[in-house]
Each structure stands twice: as C-alpha cells, then as structure tokens.
Amino acid sequence: MLANPTKKDTLQQSFQRNNIRIPIVDYSDAVKDSNYLQRFQDWMRKYKWATKSVKSITINSLLAQAKKCEESFSVRLENLLTEDGSSSPYAEKRITPKLRYLSGRLLYLSSREYLGEISEKLTNRPDMYLIAKTMEAVAFRDFTDVLSMGVNATHSAAQLVRAEGNEPVRIDNDIGLSPVVEQSLAVLVINGVQHNYGAINTELMQLVASTGMKDLMKSKNSFIREFACLHGLSEPRHQYFLDSSFDRDEELAMDVLNQLQRSSHC
C-alpha cells in the first residue's frame, strides 16, 4: 500500500470477493509526506533488488498467498481437532495455543460457511469459546453473544464484518442493557456496523453519534465531558480514522490477534 496507495479500493474489493477480511489501511496521507518519499526513493536506489521486489507484489500474488495460507491452516486445524488432549493436562495445554494461532488467522481468510462449521467444533472447548463465538458472529451475523463479552471481542468481530463489506448484524432485543452491552453497542456505532437493536438514549451513545454535544460538554461524567470537549461540534469521522494510517510507521491492526485474548467479560 505504500508503493501503490491508489490501489487500496481495488485490493479491498478483491479481498472481499475471496472471503479475505484483512483490513486495508489507507496510507495515502503518509505517502504524501515528502520526507518519507525521499527516504523510500533512497532505499530503492540503495538496494538494487528493492525495485524488483516491490513490483513483484501484485493483487493476484497476495490472493494466491492468502489462499495457500488458508488451505494450510485449515488442514492443520482439522488435524489438531482430531488429537486427543484428554490424556493429560499438558497435552491439552500444548494443543490450545496452536488452535488459537490457527483459528485466529482463519477468521481473516476462510469463508463464512467454514467458520460456521469450525465454530461448532470449538465451542465445546472452554479455552476456545471466545474465538468460537467470534467465528459464529462473523459466519451468521449474530452479535448477541459477543456484545456480552466486552468491547475487545465486539470490536474484533466488527472489524471483520467491516472488512467484508459491512453487512448489517442481528442482536437479540431481549438482551439486557448492562454497562458492558452499552459499551459494545457504542463500539458498533464507531465501526459503522448497523444492527436491529432498539435506540438507546444514553450519554455514551450520544457521544459516539455526536449528538447533543453541547450538553455532553457539561456532563457530570468526566470522561464524557472531556471527550465531548475534545471532539467539538463537528460530524463524527470514526470510520475514516479507523481506515486511515496515523503515520507511515503504523502497523496493520489485526484485532482478533492483538485484542481478542484480552477481553475480560466472558
């Protein structure tokens, strides 16, 4: 994306057609940085292999690599699921990290049908329940369970849905509005994920929707008040910032891999 920032949309559409949910970050602003461009050009001149290496990266080559990884990870995951880890607690502990590694990456590379099948096999494993429910949310677009698991789980699932085209998700309207659920619903708003849950008129939901900001600037909640003052009266640009790089050194955020294991509400 640094070498070909104008191909962002084309790459994203190709990923979506091939069940790849890797988020594509817009580096166009970083590329406009003249200092960075100069260093990039110097690097290309210094290393003769660099130009050939960069040119060899095409959309088709990325799709081929993703497909190869998906096939390899699927086989390895299926083999692990057939292993009997009940013989000793050490055997189970040996299998679990491998299952997390493979299933986390398959969330970005596999079809919704396959994720639905694997989620059923992983749900019965307590240490894989969180990833299994995330797979289920992505496969069936039902976010009822992940909302109760906290903002990390909700954001991880929302990132995958956004990368795939942002199809609306379903939420059971009977789910109680606990603080955890309210925060998770706010995360969906920030990600631009539409849902069928009823409207909620709380300060947090007003904040993420940028409505009634003048009143929120006087809120008794210090977080709400300070955030509203920093945000101002402008329209929300949550998705723009999620899709754009902060600077040229920003790494690609794979939230299923980076954040999912930290969710504490499960």
Closest by alpha carbon to 65, among 74, 53, 57, 77? 57
Query: How many domains does the structure of the chain reveal?
Result: 1
What was the pLDDT predicted at 49?
A: 56
When pLDDT is cut at 50, 70 and 90, the band that residue 198 belongs to is confident
Q: Greater confidence, 62 or 89?
A: 62
Alpha carbon distance 21, 15 (integer Å): 7
Q: Greater confidence, 73 or 241?
A: 73
Q: Fill in the amino acid letter for 64.
A: A
Alpha carbon distance 255, 23 (integer Å): 10
Closest by alpha carbon to 233, among 206, 200, 211? 211
Distances (CA, A) of 174 to 139, 170, 186, 220: 21, 12, 18, 29
Q: What is the 3-state secondary structure (H, E, C) of the chain?
A: CCCCHHHHHHHHHHHHHCCCCCCCCECHHHHCCHHHHHHHHHHHHHCHHHHHHHHCCCHHHHHHHHHHHHHHHHHHHHHHHHCCCCCCHHHHHHHHHHHHHHHHHHHHHCCHHHHHHHHHHHHCCHHHHHHHHHHHHHHHCECHHHHCCCHHHHHHHHHHHHHCCCCCEECCCCCCCCHHHHHHHHHHHHHCCCECCCCCCCHHHHHHHCCCHHHHCCCCCHHHHHHHHHHCCCCCCHHHHHHECCCCCCCCCCHHHHCHHHCCCC
When pLDDT is cut at 50, 70 and 90, the band that residue 266 belongs to is very low
* Candidate from 56-65, 181-190, 195-204, 236-245 with smallest mean pLDDT: 236-245
Percent with pLDDT over 70 in the chain: 76
Q: pLDDT tens digits for 78-136?
A: 999 888 666 667 777 888 889 999 999 999 999 999 999 999 999 988 889 999 999 99
Closest by alpha carbon to 23, among 151, 184, 161, 115? 161
Q: Which two tokens stand for residue 59?
A: 């959309």
Q: Which two tokens stand for residue 232?
A: 């101002």
Does position 215 have pLDDT exceeding 80, yes or no?
Answer: yes
Q: Name the CA radius of gyration of the chain, rounded.
A: 21
Asked if 122 contacts 103 with a C-beta cutoff of 8 angstroms, the reply is yes
Q: pLDDT tens digits for 4-47?
A: 667 778 888 898 899 899 888 776 665 555 565 666 666 566 55
When pLDDT is cut at 50, 70 and 90, the band that residue 182 belongs to is very high
What was the pLDDT predicted at 264?
A: 42
Domain that holds residue 133: 5-262
